[in-house]
Chains A and B, each alone.
Chain A
Amino acid sequence: MSAAIEARGLTKRYGSFVAVEALDLRIDEGTVFGVLGPNGSGKTTTILMLMGLTEVSAGSVRVLGLDPAREPLEVKRRVGYLPDAVGFYDDLTARENLRFSGKLAGLRGEALEARIREVLERVRLAEAADAPARRFSRGMRQRLGLAEVLLKAPRVAILDEPTSGLDPQATHEFLDMIRGLKAEGITVLLSSHLLDQVQAVCDRVGLFHRGRMVLEGRVEELSRRVLGGGFQVTVQTARPAGPSAAAARPAGDGVAAALRAISQVNRVEPAGEGTYVVHAERDVRPAIAPAVASSGAALLGLAMRTPTLDDVYAAYFAAQSREASTPEVRHAA
């Protein structure tokens, strides 16, 4: 597979502030890549450099084999960009807004009009086509932005925070449309700080933190690397009926010990009365029932949870802040 976007050592400095530092990135054609990170972590700056909309301080970048700094027009002809919180001319209708962009992109006449009808249909705005953009809701604006991206039939679509501020229904619809792009063979770069959404549509994700891409890979890979285990099973047990409370206590510890004894289990955490969370390398559910039974407790429930990016994210940043705050703790002590 050839790379749609490739960056090596990409760096952007604003004076002494480093917005993006030595970024290496490769996005294969036809895949959906998610750029994740808190606000101010360098996501938008990276996107602007890919589009040739801001100068690169160091490093190189190729988009579809073209250098955005040297051939920005060629890059922009092939790459659609939906900016963060996109705006439109309020006095113009959706159709007029698209007509203006389409003309700038070099489309003309009936071909342009037909294309506008087509993309408005696709983002389900055909009925609002002749309403002024000022009446559009946030979700409609985002969809109009997507229509503009589609207008020039791009090979790459870069979407910056496309779902922020949308209600769940609108978000769901929008993510569906992004899947539609992928089905068409368009390479998608999607930035977001909302992890579950990225997880729902992206093939690979990159985690940005303070201008660096600190993690990159498939969601499952990331969870293995950060959480140390891919599987998480919640086990609910109850003390066997009959014995007194005093006798039950060692039995409870016995459950934890029995769970820990299962092969490829990394950790067992108590999570409330009789409940345990088991972190494991494989799906250990078949082994749990006999283990609980052997410890003398009754098994009430087993629930497997695949870790979400949220967990990865939280675990990663928790580790970061622990490292950062360690000296202070020592100071206080």
Chain B
Amino acid sequence: MRREGSPLKGVGTVLAKEAADHLTSVRLWLLEGLMLLAAGGAVYAASGRIRDTVSEDPFLFLSLFTVAREPLPSFVVFLGFLVPLVAIALGFDAVNGEHSRRTLSRLLAQPIYRDALLIGKFLAGLVTLAVAFATLWLLVVGLGLLMLGLPPSGEEVLRGLAFLGVTLAYGGVWLALAMLFSVVFRQQATAALAAVAVWLLFAVFWAMLAPLAAEAASPAGPLGALERAQLEHALARLSPNVLFGEATLALLNPAARAFGPVLFAQLEGALLGSPLPFGESLMLVWPHLTGLVAALILIFTIAYVLFQRQEIRA
């Protein structure tokens, strides 16, 4: 049976309202504040270390994002941790919140499809994440200008923007996941806990589980070593955190030219330590970016299908 009318009617209205809600919510400002603190600390520490070891590095500015000084982790590591939390905070009560406020049936009685509600909410979350990350990014760059006293080069800006794009895709995956849980679980607390559990799994435990699983799955002995390393790497990459980590590494550290196990034969003729051009680095992380976007679309689609089939009465 074909439905009449556009499923996108009302998306803009929902988007505007939800984005306004997000941007004025205490929840977002708390997390944004936390991110600012973390970023400020990490960048301050990094700039101190960069000044101590001033080298001939042509990408001095980018190392602001990646250099860490004990005990603080680097800015990108902080982001890898905090971005999922912000995204989860924006999405975990998207649908079940409307249920519990008893506004869902009233909204859907307006001449819009359910599609508009879910898509509008998702886009509003993405817009909010984009605003939050762009703000943070600009602040870090500004802080870097002040502390290092030198402007970023054109390529550094490009790489920085690509990094921003990857961060948004990464945030989008977690936003989609949180919204999926908000459709599946009627209780907002359950949805939030489930999302945080998945976050913990990938942020902490995945790095320990992947080698174990690879070891169990591949034959022992020296012959299986490469195979095992490759399997382990493939398993690890199922985690969006690993994808994000590798992608940011390649974008912010132009000298990075491969991930995972590399054979000596493959290194023949390579100028180790010399930077790759931006285009090459982008080629290197293209699969990661594709993977993140694919995960985002897949999870959102599952949430979409479940929401369409859901009964709206409590």
Contacts and interface: CB of A to CB of B under 8 A. Distances in A.
Interface of A: 14, 44-45, 48, 51, 53-54, 69-74, 76-77, 79-83, 85-91, 100-101, 103-106, 145, 148, 152
Given A72-B3, A87-B101, A104 B110 contact: yes
A77 B313 CA distance: 21
Contacts of B102: 83, 85-87
* Chain B binding surface, main DSSP class: loop
B111 A89 contact: no
30 contacts: A14-B311, A44-B313, A48-B105, A48-B313, A54-B312, A54-B313, A70-B2, A71-B3, A71-B5, A72-B113, A73-B112, A74-B5, A76-B109, A76-B110, A79-B109, A81-B105, A81-B109, A82-B106, A83-B102, A83-B105, A85-B102, A88-B101, A91-B21, A100-B13, A101-B107, A103-B10, A104-B110, A104-B111, A104-B112, A105-B110
Contact of A87 (B3, B10, B106): B106
Nearest to B117: A104
B5 A88 contact: no
Contacts of B109: 51, 53, 76, 79-81, 83
Contacts of A83: 102, 105-106, 109
Given A14-B311, A85-B102, A87-B103, 6 more contacts: A69-B1, A70-B1, A73-B9, A81-B106, A87-B101, A152-B110
B2 A100 contact: no
B56 interface: no
Per CB-CB distance, the 4 closest pairs between chain A and chain B, nearest first, are A87-B102, A81-B109, A73-B5, A104-B110
Contacts of A14: 311
A51 B311 CA distance: 13
A106 B111 contact: yes
Question: Quick one: which of B101, B105, B109, B113 has the most chain A CB within 10 A?
Answer: B109
Interface of B: 1-5, 9-10, 13-14, 17, 21, 101-103, 105-113, 311-313
Given A69-B1, A70-B3, A104 B107 contact: yes
Question: Quick one: which of A44, A83, A100 has the most chain B CB within 10 A?
Answer: A83
Given A72-B3, A73-B9, A104-B10, A86 B111 contact: no
B15 to A, nearest CB: 11
Contacts of A74: 4-5, 111
Contacts of A85: 102
A167 to B, nearest CB: 20
Contacts of B21: 91
Contacts of A72: 3-5, 111, 113
Nearest to A104: B110
Contact of B111 (A73, A100, A145): A73
A14 B21 CA distance: 36
A148 B106 contact: yes
Nearest to A91: B21
Contacts of B311: 14, 54
A53 B309 CA distance: 11
A103 B16 CA distance: 11
A85 B99 CA distance: 12
Contacts of A80: 109
B95 to A, nearest CB: 14
A79 B109 CA distance: 8
Nearest to B105: A83
B70 to A, nearest CB: 44
Nearest to B114: A53
A50 to B, nearest CB: 11
Nearest to A81: B109
Contacts of A81: 105-106, 109
A48 B10 contact: no
A74 B5 CA distance: 8
B116 to A, nearest CB: 8
A104 B149 CA distance: 51
B103 A89 contact: yes
Contacts of A54: 311-313
A36 B179 CA distance: 38
B4 A70 contact: yes
A16 to B, nearest CB: 16
Contact of B103 (A51, A79, A88, A105): A88
A52 B213 CA distance: 49
A101 B106 contact: yes
Question: Quick one: which of B14, B17, B101, B111 has the most chain A CB within 10 A?
Answer: B111
A152 B112 CA distance: 13
A77 B106 contact: no
A211 B111 CA distance: 28
Contacts of B108: 53
Nearest to B311: A54
